Amino acid sequence: MEIVKDCNNVNECVCPKINCSNHGKCCDCVVNHKNMDSLPFCLFLDNDGDKSLKNFYLKLKERFK
């Protein structure tokens, strides 16, 4: 897993997982989720707890029917 060293672009992290080591570190968080084939909470707020890409596509399909 790649780690981004200089990622100072967070003003307020909306993720509820405050104990996560990537909380408030957007770059590292996005890389981590990319490696897990899922989306970070901040990019997919309406996820019903399922942050998988499959669920994301299903939600998009529902939204644009």
- Give the separation between CA 50 and CA 55, rounded to whole angstroms: 7
Per-residue pLDDT, averaged over 25-51, amounts to 80
* pTM of the predicted structure, to 2 decimals: 0.61
For the ranges 10-14, 31-35, 44-48, 57-61, which has the lowest average pLDDT? Answer: 44-48
Question: What are the φ/ψ torsions at residue 38 (nearest 5 degrees)?
Answer: -145, 170
Structure confidence at residue 19 as a pLDDT band (50, 70, 90): very high
CA distances from 8 to 5, 15, 34, 39 (A): 9, 16, 19, 20
Share of the chain above pLDDT 70, in %: 78
Q: What is the DSSP letter of 31?
A: H
The domains of the chain are located at 1-65
Question: What are the φ/ψ torsions at residue 52 (nearest 5 degrees)?
Answer: -70, 155
Per-residue pLDDT, averaged over 28-49, amounts to 80
Query: Which is nearest to 40 in space by CA: 19, 14, 1?
Result: 14
